[in-house]
Chains A and B, each alone.
Chain A
Amino acid sequence: MIGIVGYGVYVPKYRIKPEEIARVWGEEGERIRKGLGIEEKSVPGIDEDAATLAVEAARNSMAMAGILPEKIGALLVGSESHPYAVKPTATIVAEAVGAGPNIMSADLEFACKAGTSGMQYCMGLVGAGMISYGMAIGTDTSQGRPGDALEYTAGAGAAAYIIGREKTECIAEILATCSYATDTPDFWRRQHAEFPSHGGRFTGIPAYFKHVIASTQLLFEKTNTTAKDYDYIVFHQPNGKFPLEAAKKMGIDEGKLKLGLVTPVIGNTYSGASIIGLANVLDSAKAGEKILVTSFGSGAGSDSFAIEVTDVIESKRGKSPKLADYLVHKEYLDYGLYVKHRKKLKSL
């Protein structure tokens, strides 16, 4: 069996509402809130970045897995906001959780899907018997250009998954995975650019919808299943609307997406988005339930997973915070404080 032996999430304490951002830019807040399906988004603390978020999620995943840190044979960190352009986030995280030095480690980048790429690589390494456990993390503190549509959605958060093969340790089995990728110029950020550029409406049909739908259909074919075989479906969630539209296009019951759709309350956490959604499902899922996850990263590609929850989940639950625990204690920022938190003023 290849499966998840532990997972952990982290979301910073601070929030800003779309109405507050809209107030500054003279936009209609309520229209934007409804249009994007975003109630509020998370904002990192001044001393938080993609590495610190990754460490918190990693520590939570270790607490659930209950394994010694030196047993982790690989650590992969997916992000598009790595603190350094050159110098790995993965070694910072490994040291902070006490893993290594006998460890394979690397940083990954594929817009919003580098976290699920890491999960696939860990599955491969574990499946080949090269390692006993691998940790894959998706973490981001992404930024939108001031006034840009992305400013309403770009949130901060991380999720870490420890992949292993012992049946008695896996809280969920990963039954299958597949991917779909093409060279699509929907969203990018050049080496020294502060903020990303994107293709506006082009990010929809030829990018998000095409890849999410194709990858999900590929998984259905590969596993000889349909949407009816899954209790929960989690799609990448750049906003609160796209995943529901994708489901509608595929004739999938929108109700199956509800539990895994967390962007409306934390924003788009980029590399963390689909796997924080998955974590929210796992936080309450029961043994035998099946989950389908499809991530999406601009540029563009999707990874899909078919997952079945095992009864081991009951004994491991409660050893680490749930996503819901991070949604209770929050503090709202006005746009001025938000600018300070995100160091958006050049003089800061």
Chain B
Amino acid sequence: MEESLAITWRRIPERYRLLGTRCITCNGNYFPPRKICPKCRRKGKIENVQFTGKGKIYSFTTIFAPPSGFELEAPYVFAIVELDEGVRVTAQLVDCREEDVKIGSIVRMVFRRIAEDSDEGLLHYGFKFALVR
């Protein structure tokens, strides 16, 4: 199913370069970005923060039966990455096989094509991760 153009457009900064948010009251970092701090509620003050894109593998698995649109890429490694900012994100791990990956492996954000609506449709780009060797 195609995502609405408005949603795609709104999420471009977070998807392209991991633009997250931080609460300056409690120093909590959030990704995906939040409008309200879940800890401080009304006392919180949220601002945008550019995450560095560096992190380490928290957990990972190999996807053999991918969702539609990802058939050509299977099998691929899918991981939960703990960013240096303390936030966990899930994303594909590119250019590697399961045996190359360990819990704690250092990774960095890379920019890849995520999906393609149809032959004449929009191309969706965003972050994935790659092992730092």
Q: Which of B34-42, B57-65, B108-116 contacts A (4 or more CB under 8 A)?
A: B108-116
In the complex, which residues of chain B have a beta carbon less than 8 angstroms from the beta carbon of A95? 12-13, 16-17
Q: Are B123 and A52 in contact (CB under 8 A)?
A: no
B43-81 contacts to A, CB under 8 A, are 50, 72-73
Contact (Cβ within 8 A) B111 A98:
no
User: Per-position contact with B for A39-58: 1 when CB-CB < 8 Å, else 0?
Assistant: 00000011111011001100
Q: Does residue A228 face the partner (Cβ distance < 8 Å to B)?
A: no
Which among A47, A98, A340 has the highest number of chain B CB atoms within 10 Å? A47
B133–A47 CB distance below 8 A: no
Q: Complex: how many Å from CA A96 to CA B111?
A: 8
Partner of A49, one of B17, B73, B113, B128: B113
Q: Is B31 among interface residues, defined by CB-CB distance under 8 A?
A: no
Supposing A45-B94, A96-B17, A98-B17 touch, asked if A56 and B111 sit within 8 A by C-beta, the answer is: yes
Query: Is A13 part of the binding interface, using a Cβ–Cβ cutoff of 8 Å?
Result: yes
Once the chains are docked, how many angstroms separate the CA of A49 from the CA of B123?
A: 11
CB within 8 Å for A47 and B13 given contacts A13-B95, A83-B123, A329-B133 = no
Judge if A193 is at the interface, Cβ distance under 8 Å.
no
In the bound complex, residues from chain B placing their C-beta under 8 Å from that of A49 are 113, 123
Q: Which A residues are in CB contact (< 8 Å) with B125?
A: 51-52, 92, 96
Closest residue of B by beta carbon distance from A94: B16
The size of the chain B interface, using a CB distance under 8 A, is 20
Q: Nearest-CB distance from A46 to chain B (Å)?
A: 5
Instruction: Map CB proximity to B onto A10-25 as digits: 1 under 8 Å, 0 otherwise.
Output: 0001000000000000
B111:A84 contact, CB within 8 angstroms: no
Cα of A304 to Cα of B72 in the assembled complex, Å = 41
A32 interface contact, C-beta 8 A: no
B13 touches A46 (CB 8 A): no
Smallest Cβ-Cβ distance to B111: which chain A residue: A55
**Residue from the list B12, B19, B95, B133 in contact with A45, Cβ < 8 A:** B95
Contact A56 B110 (CB under 8 A): yes
> Which B residues, 78 to 94, have Cβ-Cβ distances below 8 Å to chain A?
92, 94
A47 close to B114 (CB less than 8 A): yes
Q: Which residues of B contact A (CB under 8 A)?
A: 12-13, 16-17, 19, 50, 72-73, 92, 94-95, 110-114, 123, 125, 128, 133
Q: A97-B17, A329-B95, A329-B133 are known; give 8 further A-B pairs, CB within 8 A.
A: A47-B94, A48-B113, A51-B125, A55-B111, A59-B111, A92-B16, A96-B16, A96-B17
Task: Provide a sorted-by-A list of 27 A–B residue pairs whose CB atoms are within 8 angstroms.
Answer: A45-B112, A46-B72, A46-B73, A47-B94, A47-B112, A47-B128, A48-B112, A51-B113, A51-B123, A52-B110, A52-B111, A52-B112, A52-B125, A59-B111, A83-B113, A83-B123, A84-B123, A92-B125, A95-B12, A95-B16, A95-B17, A96-B17, A96-B125, A97-B17, A98-B19, A329-B95, A329-B133
